[in-house]
């Protein structure tokens, strides 16, 4: 068993009070002009470690929120375009894409395709967006600006990010109020969490005071192995209250569904895999 990482090493970000809520003030008497809408809740899936189910969580959480009657936009901010592909779109064919939104200021509605949920598509040229954005003033806020135009159209925006903490992920963290951190229950996966926390802290302090880590989501869980059980215990020890109750177990359904261009909720609606993401959606809706 590896030595436990000290609580201090993870920083105290989660202990801090969240920023002031964004509720509109409703005046009862005399009747006031309609209060401005609060806009959608923007949730980003982030973890610089690859293959921890960021894309799977973005899609299936988005579809589960839609099942509950919400208007949902899923944004693919990963040049790999896996979210785009998993809704049956070809990242080699979609033009314009999120690259044009971030770099050239195209409206996000222009790159949004109606599938199970609305998907703002990525293409491979998104890989060059970080370099193209580098000299731009306000480069960290390009996504936030783009989302303003659709703030009355959606209740939830779910953003998929690449496995890095570069400018694309920073853009997602600037536009969001909540971060969900999918984590594979393995020791090596846990080590990267301190760095992710530091990035979230930095964005909160310098760019987006309202940003909170909503929860750590254990994914790809194989409870038959001793290592996974130990890693889960470590996660619970370090993150306790910040852990979602939902655990997403390992099942081949998650690899099969994207091949058909579907979420797991559509591919196998009665599976425990689909239910796991419905459970996650309930936790998100309660918080
Ligand atoms: N609970 C699960 N059980 C089994 N396989 C899963 C599960 N969740 C995701 N997968 C599969 O694991 C692989 C990685 O998942 P996914 O693409 O969602 O991770 P990611 O964090 O987005 O990866 P990347 O960092 O490359 O963007 C995919 O093939 C996916 O189908
Ligand atoms: Mg991905």
| Domain of residue 212, CATH code | 3.40.50.300
Give me the number of domains the chain comprises.
1
Mutation pick for ligand 1 pocket among 52, 56, 162 (CB with most ligand atoms within 8 Å):
56
Tell me if 205 is assigned to some domain.
yes
This prediction has a pTM of 0.88
Mean pLDDT of the chain, nearest integer: 88
Residue 6 in any domain: the answer is no
Q: What angle do CA 24, 244, 275 make, to 5 degrees?
A: 100
Note whether residue 11 is domain-resident.
Answer: no
Residues 6 or more apart whose CB falls under 8 angstroms from that of 87 comprise 59, 74, 113, 115, 116, 117, 119, 261
Please report whether residue 20 resides in a domain: no
Residue 42: which H helix or E strand, with range?
A: strand 41-45
Give the atom of ligand 1 at the shortest distance from the alpha carbon of 56. Answer: 18
What was the pLDDT predicted at 189?
77
Closest listed residue to residue 49, CA positions, set 235, 255, 173, 196:
196
Tell me, yes or no, whether 182 lies in a domain. Answer: yes
- For residue 35, the model assigns a pLDDT of 60
> Is position 184 within any domain?
yes
Structural domain boundaries, residue 98: 33-286
Question: Is the CB of residue 140 less than 8 Å from the CB of residue 174?
Answer: yes
Q: How many CB atoms lie within 10 A of CB 141?
A: 17
- Pairwise CA distance, residues 38 & 23, whole Å: 6
4 found inside a domain: no
Cα 92 from chain centre: 23
Look at strands 112-114 and 118-120 and give their pairing.
Answer: antiparallel
52 lines ligand 1 (CB under 6 A): yes
* Region of 283 on the Ramachandran plot (φ > 0 left; ψ -120 to 50 alpha; else beta): alpha
Distance between CA atoms of 77 and 168, rounded to whole angstroms?
7
Per-residue confidence (pLDDT) for residue 17, from 0 to 100: 34
Atom of ligand 1 nearest to the CA of 58: 18
8 located within any domain: no
Going by C-alpha positions, the residue among 123, 171, 120 that lies closest to residue 143 is 171
pLDDT of the chain, 287 residues: tens digit per residue: 343 433 333 333 333 333 334 444 444 555 565 566 689 999 999 999 999 999 999 999 999 999 999 999 999 999 999 999 999 999 898 989 999 999 999 999 999 999 999 999 999 999 999 999 999 999 999 999 999 999 999 999 999 999 999 999 999 999 999 999 999 988 777 778 989 999 999 999 999 999 999 999 999 999 788 888 888 888 888 888 899 999 999 999 999 999 999 999 999 999 999 999 999 999 999 98
The finding on whether 50 has its CB within 6 A of some atom of ligand 1 is: yes
For 22, 26, 32, 70, the CA distances from 35, given in Å and listed in that order, are 12, 6, 8, 20
Omega of the bond prior to 42 within 30 degrees of 0, cis?
A: no
């Amino acid at each position: 068993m590896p030595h436990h990482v000290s609580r201090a090493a993870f920083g105290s970000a989660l202990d801090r009070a969240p920023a002031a809520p964004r509720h509109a003030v409703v005046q009862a008497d005399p009747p006031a002009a309609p209060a401005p809408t609060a806009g959608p809740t923007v949730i980003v899936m982030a973890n610089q470690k690859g293959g921890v189910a960021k894309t799977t969580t973005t899609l299936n959480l988005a579809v589960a929120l839609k099942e509950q009657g919400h208007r949902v936009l899923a944004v693919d901010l990963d040049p790999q375009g896996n979210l785009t592909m998993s809704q049956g779109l070809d990242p080699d064919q979609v033009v314009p894409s999120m690259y044009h939104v971030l770099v050239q200021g195209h409206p996000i509605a222009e790159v949004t395709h109606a599938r199970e949920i609305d998907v703002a598509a990525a293409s491979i040229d998104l890989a060059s967006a970080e370099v193209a954005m580098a000299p731009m003033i306000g480069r960290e806020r390009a996504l936030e600006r783009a989302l303003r135009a659709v703030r009355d159209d959606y209740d939830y925006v779910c953003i998929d990010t690449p496995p890095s903490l570069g400018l694309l992920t920073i853009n997602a963290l600037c536009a969001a109020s909540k971060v969900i951190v999918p984590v594979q229950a393995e020791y090596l996966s846990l080590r990267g969490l301190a760095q992710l926390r530091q990035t979230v802290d930095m964005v909160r302090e310098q760019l987006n005071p309202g940003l909170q880590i909503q929860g750590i989501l254990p994914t790809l869980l194989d409870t038959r192995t001793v290592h996974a059980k130990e890693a889960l215990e470590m996660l619970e020890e370090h993150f306790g209250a910040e852990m979602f109750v939902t655990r997403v177990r390992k099942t081949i359904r998650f690899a099969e569904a994207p091949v058909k261009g579907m979420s797991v909720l559509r591919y196998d609606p009665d599976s425990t895999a689909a239910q796991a993401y419905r459970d996650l959606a309930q936790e998100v809706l309660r918080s």
